Structure 1
Amino acid sequence: MSRIFVFNWISVDGIFSGPNGETDWFTSDPELEAANLSALHIADTLLFGRVTFKMMEAFWPTPGAAAAYPEVAAYMNETAKHSFSTTVNSSHWPHSSFHNVLNRDTVRAIKETAKKDIVVLGSGSVSMALQELQLIDEYILLLDPQLLGRGKPFFKDVDPTALQLLEARTFPSGIVRLHYKTVHENRVKPR
């Protein structure tokens, strides 16, 4: 069965987007971009919240995205996309589906259609809802060498959960990509 993994940039102080959802602070380099694209290709299904879906929808189907990032744009446009929202229920972006609720039944139905793994990009609210349901199998966190000081924390009010480090890789930009497996049977007990 498909695994669900979260793929997200976070600052050293745990922020994943600016106060107004800004992501223009992400650091990158060509080696990191190639590694990220390789990691994404293990998934054929994307999960988004409304805000991230609208942001991605505004960029990836455009000629500018295809010119600047041809491989990523092709992947984003051809991959199945599921957005969780009570207000957005249609899109011109191909392969987009919409769900009013995020629960075990909805996720189970999505898993039945996936042929590969499922990835959550950005979408802090979706990530936290899946974490609360104990449905996240792995985290790939791009630890950006910055202290942002303000913005939206990625891990907020989460249940204690044990993680097993699968890989740590440093890139020329200073990003450290941390790949963790969730250890469901060995949950950390609250203090």
Structure 2
Amino acid sequence: MTNISVFQSVTLDGVMQGPGRTDEDTRGEFNHGGWANGYQDEVSMQFAGEGMSSGGSLLFGRRTYEDLLGFWSTTPDPNPFTDVLLNSRKYVVSRSPETVLAYPNSTLLAGDAAGTVAALDQEAIGGLTILGSRQLVQSLHAAGLIDQYILLVHPIVLGSGTKLFGDGERINLTLQQSITTTTGVIIAQYSTH
């Protein structure tokens, strides 16, 4: 069975919306976009680089797939993120079977998120990592399909914005590893089992 991990930046109050740029996700009149900027350091970049080099596939909701790859594939400066995003196997969950996937190595999983990912979980080799994709994470969390959360907890409280976890049943997590960066970000790796 494939290990499904969530890799996500969050604030202390659990907001995951728009960490990278001001225009990343303005739904609900969110005006705090780019809140994670300035918190990157050598520790966090090394951790992210190790994760990116470990292989496996990426799992996205349609909106995050389009936004994230659209941004990184048009960034003029050379960076390791573009190469990994374009060259990795990508699975994209969408309710619509007509969804067009514009980037290489992409496979559409059309239909119910939990059902399509559970079927993929039986076939996929290597790990699946979810970046962003709040609705997808919440659906898979409710279905008990997430094995691991890797959360980059930033020392900031926004007071508004979309949170990683919505209402749901309690789940106990086991801390596997924690790393503190020089900017106060805590990288916490939790297992759901």
TM-score band w.r.t. shorter chain: 0.7 to 0.9
Contact 1:15 1:152 in 2 (8 A): yes
Residue 44 of structure 1, CA deviation: 1.8
> 5+ unaligned residues in a row in structure 1: which ranges?
184-191
Q: Which of 159, 163, 169 pairs up with 1:149?
A: 159
1:81 aligns with 2:81: no
1:45 aligns with 2:51: no
Alignment of 1:19-168 (within 5 A): 20=26, 23-26=33-36, 27-62=39-74, 64=76, 67=78, 69=79, 71-87=80-96, 89-168=99-178
Give the alignment's TM-score, normalised by structure 2. 0.84
Distance in 1, matches of 2:33 and 2:176, equals 26
Q: For each residue in 1:134-171, what CA deviation from the matched residue of structure 2 results, as whole angstroms up to 9, or x when unmatched? A: 00001000001111111101111122111000011101
Distance in 1, matches of 2:154 and 2:125, equals 31
Alignment of 1:5-20 (within 5 A): 5-18=5-18, 20=26
- Count of residue correspondences: 180
More strand by share: 1
Residue 83 of structure 1, CA deviation: 1.5
SS at match of 2:63: helix
Greater CA drift, 5-14 or 54-63: 54-63
Contact 1:60 1:77 in 2 (8 A): no
Equivalent AA in structure 2 for residue 49 of structure 1 = G
Greater CA drift, 84-93 or 25-34: 84-93
Identity of aligned residues (%): 27
> 5+ unaligned residues in a row in structure 2: which ranges?
19-24
SS at match of 1:168: strand
Distance in 2, matches of 1:73 and 1:54, equals 13
